[in-house]
Amino acid sequence: MEVPISPDMHKEYKEQKPTYENIKKYIMEKHGVKVHTAYIAEIKRDCELDMRPNYNVSKKEAPEIK
């Protein structure tokens, strides 16, 4: 799914940090879709946005990834 991004859409959210709650709220307002935090994390990694360290790191050698 492609999301059209225009400069006018960005102005409204420019001052907010890209937190999971802000991103969920933005997507719900603009597209009426609820998204899972895993999808948000994947996009944040792809777009190279700031992400805090994961403190719930698995102690297994090969953790199961859904």
- Cβ neighbours of 13 (radius 10 Å): 15
39 belongs to a structural domain: yes
Rounded distance between C-alpha atoms, residue 24 and residue 26, angstroms = 6
36 belongs to a structural domain: yes
40 belongs to a structural domain: yes
Alpha helices, DSSP H only, in 1-66?
Answer: 7-13, 20-31, 37-46
Q: Which residue has the tokens 């603009």?
A: 30
pLDDT reported for residue 35: 93
35 belongs to a structural domain: yes
21 belongs to a structural domain: yes
* Amino acid found at 28: M
Is residue 66 within 8 Å of 38, Cβ to Cβ? yes
pLDDT reported for residue 28: 93
64 belongs to a structural domain: no
Confidence of residue 16 (pLDDT cuts 50, 70, 90): low
Number of domains the chain contains: 1
Owning domain of residue 45: 17-49
